[in-house]
Amino acid sequence: MTTADSTAPAGSPAGRPREEWTGQLGFILSAIGSAVGLGNIWRFPGVAYENGGGAFLIPYLVALITAGIPILFLDYAIGHRFRGAAPTSFRRLGGAAGRWLESLGWFQVTIAFVIGLYYTAVIAWAMSYFVFSFDLRWGDDPAGFFTGEYLHVGEPGVSLEFVPGVLVPLALVWIAAIIVLAAGVAKGLQRVNVIFLPLLVVAFLVLVVRALFLDGAADGLNALFTPDWAALADPNVWIAAYSQIFFSLSIAFGIMITYASYRRRRANLTGPGLVVAFANSSFEILAGIGVFATLGFLAFQQGVEVAELEGIAGVGLSFITFPAIVSQMPGGPIFGILFFGSLVMAGFTSLVSVLQVVSAAIQEKFSLTPRGAAVGVGGVSAVLSILIFSTTTGLLALDVTDQWANNIGIVASAVFTTILVIWVFRRGPELRAHLNAVSTFQVGRVWVLLVGVLAPVVLGYMLISRITTLLVDGYEGMPGWYLALFGWGTVLVLVVGAVIGTVLPWRRSPDDFTAWPPFPADAGTTTQTEARR
């Protein structure tokens, strides 16, 4: 095995070096930009409020330490040691007898592909509402405006009746995403994160400070942080905490495997991983303060308790409740511009990380350049995204697809990954040694136990519980055929994508590869050139 073979991307002309971040700061900002997304702003506050308030922070921190960070380290170790996107890394991890493990990588790539299709639509909505904030276009009826005048939401079905107000910003989001992906890792992904992430933090800090001085803000914060200690005895609260941590760290569907593969051979992994994890959680708590201070103002204006408000999470919070608040508060347009501008920036930095999972896998499989993969992947995705999510049924399709892709697709991916890597291929000690060989913060044997035992048990319970609920109760009262098409059909697409991606031939085999450093430590020698890469 030559040095060039071990560092050039699979499928690329021999000797072409793998793309890299320009440094540790670029990687950290990009990883935080990926983790901090729409869910931090519209999911965490509602989940915390509904699951014990201030007491929720205890299971939340336990879940972060026992599952979130360990799986984040697992993704880092796989991507950094095996130097590739998810399919390449899993194929190399499987070794000569486990080439089929590549299919797990393509399963993750297909999840990212599906999420990218509808995530762009939410960013497009946020872009529209950023513009609407200037003249408060939603008027006195934000709910009616959002579902009626803006989205033209119809009955569950398959519609080709396009909504121009969504189609145009959606096309713009795809054009911007393709340009960023085509520019590559350092000049595209890293640059957009270096610009957007500080802007996002500053904009959201201004928003939170403004919210804290609104009438009723203290009541909102009391509603969020007053602990309900009895909730800690409810297993569902703990499951909610693990779910929140799991979905907010961008783990188990290829993003962190891909991002870690762009770090130099000698690159600290665990230290930056802790920074990313705690920065993500800090932003979630900051979002909780801002959102509930604002909800407290709305409750004050309406003369009701915060508990009586509706739409305190998800799409309803962002596109119905917040516009209603903006209409009633002094300086509302500025508040709306900051809020929806923050949504656009948080969403876009996460979006490019999701799409890079697909782009990197295609580059390596078919020996394409970043530009070629960006145009190909972005073009196909843009057409599908516009056909499905810019129509009058786009909101319903998005809601159903998101439920199945996240709660079944990503969770199943995490369960398979932990079981296959730790128990079937028994790579836990090797990956732990890799982390410790390149990192300042050392992980002990307990890391293998957390990844190999606790994570699959908790996540397996979440997966079975969710599948049972969806089979028995359905979802949001939607017709069974519709859930079969956009819900279970999404799961079928993930499986078919994994099969097709695996059986297609590699333009250049990724198997001529030697992992560094050797494992066991005395199993080989390392040149200075290898160590530097």
- 531 pLDDT band, cuts 50/70/90, is very low
Q: Can you tell me the mean pLDDT for 161-165?
A: 96
Q: Can you tell me the mean pLDDT for 86-99?
A: 96
Q: Is residue 3 over pLDDT 70?
A: no
* DSSP string computed for 413-458: HHHHHHIIIIIIS--HHHHHHHHHHH-SS---HHHHHIIIIIHHHH
- 314 pLDDT band, cuts 50/70/90, is confident
Torsion sign across C-alpha atoms 184, 500, 89, 173: positive
* DSSP string computed for 202-266: HHHHHHHHHHHTSTTHHHHHHHHHS--GGGGG-HHHHHHHHHHHHHHTT-SSSHHHHHHHTS-SS
Q: Does the pTM exceed 0.85?
A: yes
Share of the chain above pLDDT 70, in %: 95
Alpha-carbon distance of 153 to 393, in angstroms, equals: 6
Q: What is the CATH number of domain 27-507?
A: 1.20.1740
- Residue-level pLDDT at 236: 87
- Residue-level pLDDT at 522: 64
Q: Is residue 11 over pLDDT 90?
A: no
SS3 category, 523: coil
**Omega of the bond leading into 517 within 30 degrees of 0 (cis):** yes
Measured CA to CA in angstroms, residue 100 lies from 89, 95, 104, 418 at distances of: 12, 9, 8, 16
Q: Can you tell me the mean pLDDT for 322-330?
A: 91
Contact 426, 418 (CB under 8 A): no
pLDDT digits over 195-217, tens only?
999 999 999 999 999 999 999 99
pLDDT digits over 391-438, tens only?
999 999 999 999 999 999 999 999 999 999 999 999 999 999 999 999
| Residue whose entry in the numeric block shows the structure tokens 């270096």 | 194
Q: Can you tell me the mean pLDDT for 231-247?
A: 90
Average the pLDDT over each of 122-131, 330-339, 348-357 and give the range with the smallest value: 330-339
- Residue-level pLDDT at 523: 63
Contact 325, 293 (CB under 8 A): no
Average the pLDDT over each of 112-116, 306-310, 409-413 and give the range with the smallest value: 306-310
Where are the chain's structural domains? Answer: 27-507
Exposed, middle or buried, 251 (CB in 10 Å: 0-12/13-18/19+)? buried
- Residue-level pLDDT at 15: 54
Q: What are phi and psi of 162, to 5 degrees?
A: -75, 150
- Residue-level pLDDT at 529: 46
> What rounded mean pLDDT belongs to the chain?
93
254 alpha-carbon distance from chain centroid: 10
Q: What are phi and psi of 367, to 5 degrees?
A: 55, 50
